[in-house]
Chains A and B, each alone.
Chain A
Amino acid sequence: MKEKFDAIVIGAGPAGCACGYTLARAGMQVLVVERGKFAGAKNMWGGAFYGPTLGDLIPNFWEEAPFERYIACHRFSALSKDSCLSAEFTTPKFSEPPYNGVTILRSKFDRWFATKVEEMGAIVATGLEAEELIWDGNFIAGIEASGDELPASVIVSCEGVNSVIAEKAGIKNKSKARDVKQGIKEVIALPRETINQRFNLTGNEGIAWEFIGSFTRGLPGGGFIYSNKDSLSVGIVVQLNALAEKQVKANDILEDFKAHPYITRLIDGGKLLEYSAHLVPVSGINVMPKLYRDGFLVTGDAAGFVVGTGLILEGANFAVASGIAAAETVIRAKQKEDFSESSLAYYQELLEKSFILKDLKTFKEAPHFLENPRIYSLYPDLACDLAEKLLTNDGKPRKKVWKHLREATSNKVSLFQIAWELLKAVKTI
């Protein structure tokens, strides 16, 4: 009889590492399996981690974790064909630890996080894939990996958006294309001083910059630029079904984004270091699977714990928090020696109490709201058009805002509709 683990965690991303770390700290026998050659080898994202979750787990993590820059500045821009209208927020508070947000390159960061998990006493097995589940009646009793049977009291799926094991566990179906967005990204090297100059940053200040506009050709999605230490993360996120239905490739959208005169000069002279792609589950609680069954828990992206409102797109903090909640559930189940579905239902309780399910419920309507195509093309164009009209001096008598607004919107959309959708936005996000 092989050694039986208290828990096997599938995937060494933020959810899996947080789960493994918490379990090992409590003295549990934990195995974290990671299919990549090292933790982070298969992982990419836009670029930022927000909130106190990680600092709660590893106090002062920023002193040792390989993060890139703290986010001192948030900028939001609407792009029309050749114009740009922006809003920016910055406060000295964002520049003080514990930082509100930090930019991170996952390949470095996940590797560090996995090392912390090992230091805590868990086994992190890289280059090992959970291929099948082992069943004992209704119970999930272990995994098969590289031909070995590995028994465990609980399996925690932290496998991310392509959650093939959670599907095999029978608690969720394959995602639908309208419930995921495709993110693609280029990491572009630029000298640190150049980044600081171009983005008005000093020292280790960073920027998180989100864009909407006609470059997505009306498809639900947007662009982003995050500043790393010596590189920029430049990418787009677009609804997957829309790409297929409109027969557009994400890379063409990315190229249009990069070719915008305002973006071109920001990345000018940069050298491409990497091109990556990933899916983001964006339908949140509307398609949330069952989160537990006998001997099984599901966390992070695999559970669809992502909140996107257009202003924010967060998932990693949900991954970490749900990984911790899963670990606490396993620790409690171990004390009772009861790993049945009813015992693991404690996980749901923890999630209901935390920001995870609260946020997902608060922004329940956001995914549907964000399907409105006017947000991605008509409104950014109108905003830029209006700004141009207001600011251009062409020697003719000036008009008031209201008159310009009437002219800019005529034949396109009624002012009543704009007001209605603005109200809906304020109420939804």
Chain B
Amino acid sequence: MIYLLDPLIYLLIYGFLLTAIMGLIASWIDRKVTARVQYRVGPPLLQPLIDIIKLLGKETLIPEGASKITFLMAPIIGFSGVVLVSTILWINNIDPTKSFMGDLIVVLYLLVVPSISIIMGGFASRNPLASLGASREMKLIMGYELPFILAVLVPVIHTHSIRLGNIVSYQATNGIFIGSLSGFLAWIVVILCVQAKLALVPFDMPEAETEIVGGPLIEYSGSGLAVYRLMKNMMLFTLPFFVMILFMGGWKFEGIYSLTGLLKYIGVVAIITVIRNTNPRVRIDQAVKFFWGPMTIIAIIAVILAFLGK
């Protein structure tokens, strides 16, 4: 049974615990920077953790006529998707030889699972506003998946391999991808697609707060909502980590490199927060036009430049 111990450690400690702690700290950074930009004091450091503990202590109410099993399983499915993705990313970051061939494709598939769990939860709630929010989320996924996959092709073309471990090792010897022109364009496209995947302004129309009263999560209370919030906070760590591994060389934990890795991570989170604070919310048709128009064109230009070797 001793051979099960290693992946279990990776799953529980790196995949779940470390990601949860870093995700809660990232959520606190986001809220504090937002508060400072709006000229006020923000919440204390442990606020996101206290939110989740409080939600676990409230009762869970299931609306009448909703499908009970789907309603209760949807947050757990999304949560397990995020835990698996972060486990794969941590394994690649710490020891690039331990991963398997094609894990980039597995990560791209698993990253859709949290968004699908929100759609499941929305449609299982038997509420017209929740269905409206879930259908908007579906259209948004169809919008940003195209430029996202095209932009992720750029590191694959440079390193001629679809193993994440090879991408990390290539950047250690040949310079990080964001320095080249194709890598920089692809990085811009990926940052905006990450903004849409996290459902942050300007692409937060699935969960518009005042317009459709909370969107797909309108009927969730208690532990279901706690798992959803934890899943969103962990996504706030996992997606910038993914961007770092693909374009900025990962996070090495030796000597001075751990500090520069921390600064890179905080930089990506700060860019996401600043975009969040300075933009209004767009409509769903404007968002889909934006992703299938300018973003796809920039991604195609980046792929062509990567083929030419730049």
Does A associate with B in a complex?
no
- What residues of chain A have their CB less than 8 Å away from a CB belonging to chain B? none
- What residues of chain B have their CB less than 8 Å away from a CB belonging to chain A? none
